[in-house]
A and B are shown apart, each in its own frame.
Chain A
Amino acid sequence: MSYNKKRNLMGYLYISPWIIGFLIFTLYPFAMTFIYSFCNYSITKSPVFIGLGNYITMFTKDMYFWPSLINTIKYVLMTVPLKLCFALFVAMILNIDIKGVNVFRTTYYLPSIFGGSVALSVIWKFLFMDNGIMNKFLSYFHIHGPSWLGNPHISLFTISLLSVWEFGSSMVIFLAALKQVPNELYEASMLDGASKIRRFFSITLPMISPVLLFNLVMQTINAFQEFTGPYVITGGGPMNSTYVYSMLIYDNAFRYFRMGYSSALSWILFLLILIVTVIIFKSSNTWVYYENGGR
């Protein structure tokens, strides 16, 4: 066997764990989700093909489908922009060369290391209970705080704030990108008399746009699948106002064991995430700036 052929084979050998894992734990389940979605399948009996039955049921009969889908979309729209704006804003402040900046970076990052954990959800629950510490704090200013988790109009917003609080990891990514922006650009623009706001929109934002795209896509995909926060804090209530789509999937699959129907629900979520991601990528042609012209 020639040296090159042997090297080729070695390469495959090294990546073989991933290939096997990909086939068994990603590709096969992915294909099966699609197939199961056309079946009536409770885990104890073998799947029965029912065509579009599951899809028809969810769009016409399932009283939780539309509300949970709308809750999820609302959650994404509240969480992602707020989190990214926060992350970028704080990263810009921390990009200044001052003493002790590392201490602040660590402090702001701290909530993120428990990201999505039960512990943080528990804390959030206690902070925003009716007699919780948030309302106690507001009462010092003679403000009668709302029922953060009990009022169906704001409960979802309260939970989305939990995710905003964990902005640290996006912040660090922004910070790394901000450090890459060449200083000459700012100096040149200052000579041209550009204002701070102008500099932000004409230099900073375009220069970090690839990272903005990355953060936007990853945070959006994550937010669409949020589960722990709503499940632990409110259990979907009050009045299903925090009943998000992944809870619908969870309930159908693991409480009612409707595996086929739940697969169909998963497939719809996958399509939705795919469409949103594609739209973000397509639109990014107009707002993401690559130094090498995107090649």
Chain B
Amino acid sequence: MKAKNSQNNDIIRKVFIYVFLVAFGIFMIYPLLWVFASSFKSNDEIFKSISLIPKHIVTNSYFEGWKGTGQYSFGTFILNSITLVVPVVVFTAISSTIVAYGFARFEFPLKTILFTLMISTMMLPGTAVLIPRYILFNWLGWINTYKPFIVPALFGTTPFFIFMMVQFLRGLPKELEESATIDGCNSFQILMKILIPLCKPAIISMCIFQFIWTWNDFFNPLIYINSVEKYTVSLGLNMTIDGTSVVNWNQIMAMTIISMIPSIIIFFSAQKYFVEGIATTGLKN
């Protein structure tokens, strides 16, 4: 009797948990679903009800929104974002892996101090270096180009990623490298042929994070990019909501969705690495 009671309690408890989890899940993603649904609603309908199903399906909001407000279409902004983000991701992955290899596998004087210094810059607020960096890039003539994003990526300027790679490399057995050394591999060959293939999960999660953070970044493009033809998606989207006098809500919703699609695709295609990546190393946002 007692056993049956506790079994019943267990079921009730589980039902409660599921109800809570589902309700909370709806609450969490309703805003995202609502924007998606609204992009198919007519402008009059969007704020009339909280329903997710359009009464009259409008399909031209994506087409019309895509044209943008002025002479540049949303396609330009997307292409710009890709031109900016892809080199940043590639260079971050290369530089962070190489630097992490140095920290994880070599002994040299001052290593501990340099490593601590690198970790502590993780906590340095961006505003502390903001203005001189801008002045430096301005002096170099890099304002209104993507160089302020791409060049620093070559130099491992996101210590979080170096730290993440160091942690990962430390977890790999050294025996493989030792036998490769005996076979006559030099340290760079070891990195390229043995370690990088083993580091694939860490490298992939680094690329995902860097892609999404750079894609969604607003502040840096805002200060470094000033001509509309070079606007990234986030600048374009901000301009769209600022600039529309005749409010075409559904077009704004449609472009909001468009701007989120790359992150969504990456998130769902690489989910495994994603959650592992943060779980093991912690995260910025």
Contact A11 B24, beta carbon cutoff 8 Å = no
A17-B285 contact, Cβ under 8 Å, with A26-B124, A123-B31, A254-B223: no
Bound complex: CA A132 to CA B48 (Å): 9
With an 8 Å Cβ cutoff, the count of chain B residues facing the other chain is 85
Are A172 and B283 touching (Cβ within 8 A)? Answer: yes
Q: Is the CB of A11 within 8 A of B128?
A: no
Asked if A273 and B283 sit within 8 Å, CB to CB, the answer is: no
Contact between A43 and B135 (Cβ–Cβ < 8 Å)? yes
Judge whether A249 and B152 touch: CB under 8 Å: no
> B235's closest neighbor in chain A, by CB?
A118
B108 CB, nearest partner CB in chain A, Å: 4
Interface centre among B109, B156, B249 (most CB of A within 10 A): B156
**Nearest CB in chain A to that of B91: its residue:** A17
Q: Which residues of A contact B106 (CB under 8 A)?
A: 7-8, 10-11, 14
Interface membership of B29, Cβ < 8 A: yes
Q: Is the interface of B mostly helix, strand, loop or mixed?
A: helix
**B275 touching A115, Cβ below 8 Å:** no
A123 contacts B285, CB within 8 Å? no
Q: Which chain B residues lie closer than 8 Å to A19 at the CB level?
A: 114
B197 within 8 Å of A (CB atoms): no
Give, as a whole number of angstroms, the nearest-CB distance from B15 to chain A.
11
Contact A133 B34 (CB under 8 A): yes
- Chain A: which residue is nearest B129 at the CB level? A29
Quick one: which of B210-248 are within 8 Å of A by CB?
Answer: 212, 216, 218-219, 223, 234, 237-238, 241
> How far apart are the CA atoms of A131 and B43 in the complex, in Å?
13
What is the interface of chain A mostly: helix, strand, loop, or mixed?
A: helix
Give CA–CA (A253, B131) in the complex, Å.
Answer: 7
In the complex, A127→B34 CA distance in Å?
A: 9
Distance of A126 Cα from B238 Cα, bound (Å): 14
> Which B residues are CB-close (under 8 A) to A57?
none
B108-134, CB under 8 A of A: which get 1 and which 0? Answer: 110100100110010111111111111
Within 8 A of B (CB), among A29-85: 29-30, 32-33, 36, 43
Task: Tell me if A119 and B131 are in contact (CB < 8 A).
Answer: no
Spot the interface stretch: B55-63, B170-178, B199-207, B255-263: B255-263
Set B21, B132, B267: member contacting A93, Cβ < 8 A: B21
Instruction: Give the complex CA separation of A25 and B134 in angstroms.
Output: 10
Among B1-9, B64-72, B82-90, B97-105, the one that faces the other chain is B97-105
B125 contacts A273, C-beta separation under 8 Å: yes
Query: Across the interface, do A30 and B260 meet the contact criterion of CB distance under 8 Å?
Result: no
A148-156, A187-195, A200-208, A260-268 - the one binding chain B: A260-268
Answer whether residue B141 sits at the interface, using C-beta atoms and an 8 A cutoff.
no
Chain B residues with Cβ under 8 A from A158's Cβ? none
CB pair B102 A12 closer than 8 Å: yes
Is B284's CB under 8 angstroms from A114's CB? no
Q: B275, A225: Cβ atoms under 8 Å? A: no
- Is residue A246 within 8 Å, beta carbon to beta carbon, of the partner chain? yes
Chain A residues within an 8 Å CB radius of B49: 136
Interfacial chain B residues near A15, Cβ < 8 Å:
99, 102-103, 114
- Give the chain B neighbours of A29 by CB distance below 8 A: 128-133, 136
Of the candidates A24, A118, A136, the one whose C-beta lies within 8 Å of that of B47 is A136
Q: Is A288 an interface residue (CB 8 A)?
A: no
Cβ of A107 < 8 Å from any Cβ of B?
yes
- A122 contacts B237, CB within 8 Å? yes
At the interface, yes or no: B12 with Cβ under 8 Å from chain A? Answer: no
Contact yes or no, A267 B128, CB < 8 A: yes
With both beta carbons as reference points, the residue of chain B lying nearest to A272 in the complex is identified as B125
A127 touches B285 (CB 8 A): no
| Count of chain A residues near B, Cβ 8 A | 94
A residues near B14, Cβ cutoff 8 Å: 98
Q: Answer yes or no: A270 CB below 8 A from chain B CBs.
A: yes
Given contacts A8-B108, A21-B157, contact A262 B102 (CB under 8 A): no
B154 near A175: Cβ-Cβ < 8 Å? no
Given A12-B108, A118-B218: A123 and B131 interface contact (C-beta under 8 Å): no
Tell me if B182 is interfacial: C-beta within 8 Å of chain A: no
Q: Is A106 interfacial (CB 8 A cutoff)?
A: yes
CA gap between A107 and B25 in the complex, in Å = 6
Would you give the shortest CB distance from A212 to chain B, in whole angstroms? Answer: 12
Interface residues of B in 260-285 (CB under 8 A from A): 260, 263-264, 267, 271, 274-275, 278-280, 282-285
A173 adjacent to B157 (CB under 8 Å): no
B111, B253, B278: which has the most chain A beta carbons within 10 Å?
B278
Cβ of A199 within 8 Å of any chain B Cβ, yes or no, is no
Identify the closest chain A residue to B114 (Cβ).
Answer: A15
- Interface assignment of B95: CB less than 8 Å from any CB of chain A: yes
Q: Which of A94, A107, A218, A253 contacts B134 (CB 8 A)?
A: A253
Beyond A25-B152, A270-B127, list 16 extra A-B contacts (CB 8 Å): A30-B128, A104-B21, A105-B275, A107-B29, A110-B29, A113-B267, A113-B274, A118-B237, A119-B216, A133-B47, A169-B284, A169-B285, A218-B282, A232-B238, A259-B134, A266-B131
Q: List 25 A-B contacts (CB under 8 A).
A: A11-B106, A11-B111, A21-B152, A22-B121, A22-B155, A25-B155, A29-B133, A93-B20, A98-B17, A104-B25, A107-B28, A111-B32, A115-B285, A122-B237, A133-B34, A133-B50, A136-B50, A214-B282, A215-B282, A221-B123, A222-B285, A227-B219, A232-B241, A263-B132, A270-B128
